[in-house]
Amino acid sequence: MMKYRELGKTGIKLSGIGLGCMGMSAAYGTPDNEESIATLYRSLELSINFWDTADIYGNNHSNEKLLAQVLKEKRDQIFLATKFGFALNEGFTDSFQPGATYLNGKPDYVKKAVEGSLQRLGVDHIDLYYLHRVDPNTPIEETVSAMADLVKEGKVRYLGLSECTTEHLQRAMSIHPITAVQSEYSVLTRTPEENGILALTKELGVAFVPFAPMSRGLMTATVNVNELEANDFRTRLPRYQGEYLDNNQKLAAAFAAFAKEKGATAAQLAIAWVIAQGDHIIPIPGTKRRKYLEENAAAIDLTLTQADLARIQAIVNEFPLTGPRYSSNENKFVNK
């Protein structure tokens, strides 16, 4: 049975595990809209009420349009998060093509972006609206002021930041309350611990929403790199290549062996580890298939002891050559 966690200081109870929807339309091979829609409906049956998308996911913004097919009849059951901030360069429709995007946090773009998302999603308001990445050419105060106007207008309920620094968060909160921060966080990716954002969100009562809690499938110990489609963006990630891949496959195998001892799958152990790092954390593992959704949701019942957490850290320490998150092309969009 699903357990719930409060979203920051809002008093809103969300499923302790949300659903990341990007992979239904982008980055992970050929989309399967029929199975993705079935997965969205199944998530509601499993009491997962926290969906995460972005205007940039999928060719021609297709992920928001996909969710709209379910939102039109289930809107009241879903706490809906989307994002803006990546703008497409002229001539591009797919944000995952090299050179396709640039960052835009200008106030006029904020207003344009929200109208596009509202229309594509088929809704009259967005529950949680994130700045996807901080635009280095626009003071974050200006961006957040424009976002705050959307709250006053009733188009958005709460504001969030994604992949921000502690300085960004503090500056943003001087303008308007920030309800959630989203960043990559997993057994392999510890950046939020290292840069202080995990601790600061807890201190400030801000929800922390980790994406890729299974390290983009690496920690499931089930991904065959040779079977990835050419349009799967993991084929260009350092962790899926060369000596990094060799290290990570050994790490994942040891991790999966421990998961088996716990009566769980490696994916469930990876999600449970993230949940155990703080009561303000709500991970959003992504999937486009019902069977993986069901597996992920069951992680809410896996409780880890301090001894378990120490064992996991020992496994990670044994295989330290994990590699960087992104190639140089993607890494330029990450705020550290």
With H, G, I as helix, E, B as strand and everything else as coil, classify residue 100: coil
Q: Which two tokens stand for residue 153?
A: 């207008």
Helix%, strand%, coil% for the chain, nearest 5? 45, 15, 40
Residue 256, both tokens: 């999966």
How far apart are the C-alpha atoms of 289 and 33, rounded to whole Å? 10
Exposure on the CB side of residue 92, measured as CA atoms within 13 A: 17
pLDDT at 216: 81
8 A C-beta contact, residue 54 and residue 82: yes
pLDDT reading at 223 higher than 80 = no
pLDDT of residue 334 exceeding 60 = no
C-alpha 224/C-alpha 218 separation (Å) is: 10
pLDDT bin (cut points 50, 70, 90) of residue 231 is low
CB 195 within 8 A of CB 223: no
Which pLDDT score is estimated for 29? 63
Quote the CA–CA distance of 233 and 239 in Å, as a whole number: 12
- Which pLDDT score, from 0 to 100, does residue 192 have? 97
- Answer whether 18's CB lies under 8 Å from 56's CB: no
Q: Considering the chain, what percentage of its residues have pLDDT values greater than 90?
A: 72
pLDDT category of residue 233 using cuts at 50, 70 and 90: low
Mean pLDDT lowest among 22-36, 93-107, 212-226, 295-309: 212-226
Q: How confident is the model at residue 333 (pLDDT cuts 50, 70, 90)?
A: very low
> What per-residue confidence (pLDDT) applies to 322?
74
Whether domain 4-215+274-302 has CATH 3.20.20.100: yes
Under the banding of pLDDT at 50, 70 and 90, the label for residue 336 is very low
List phi, psi (to 5°) of 134. Answer: -75, 130
Q: What is the pLDDT of residue 132?
A: 96
More confident residue, 323 or 317: 317
Kindly report, residue by residue over 282-304, the tens digit of the pLDDT: 999 999 899 999 999 999 999 99
- Over residues 62-97, the pLDDT tens digits come to 889 999 999 999 999 999 999 999 998 888 877 777
* Domain boundary assignment for the chain: 4-215+274-302
Give residue 157's pLDDT. Answer: 99
- Among this protein's residues, is 129 annotated catalytic? no
User: Is 235 or 278 the better-scoring residue by pLDDT?
Assistant: 278
Do residues 128 and 79 make contact, with C-beta atoms less than 8 angstroms apart?
A: yes
Please identify which of the residues 4, 28, 41, 57 carries the catalytic annotation.
Answer: 57
Rounded to 5 degrees, φ, ψ at 206 are -100, 135
The amino acid at residue 324 is: P
Quick one: pLDDT at residue 42? 98
Predicted structure pTM score: 0.92
Please give the average per-residue pLDDT across 188-210, as a whole number.
97
Q: Is 332 a residue whose pLDDT tops 60?
A: no
pLDDT 10s digits, 135-156: 999 999 999 999 999 999 999 9
Mean pLDDT is highest, among 172-181, 218-227, 315-324, for 172-181
Q: What is the pLDDT of residues 105-132, one digit of tens each?
A: 999 999 999 999 999 999 999 999 999 9
Looking at residue 96, its pLDDT comes to 74
Q: Which residue has the tokens 């190639």?
A: 327
Q: What is the C-alpha radius of gyration for the chain, rounded to an integer number of angstroms?
A: 19
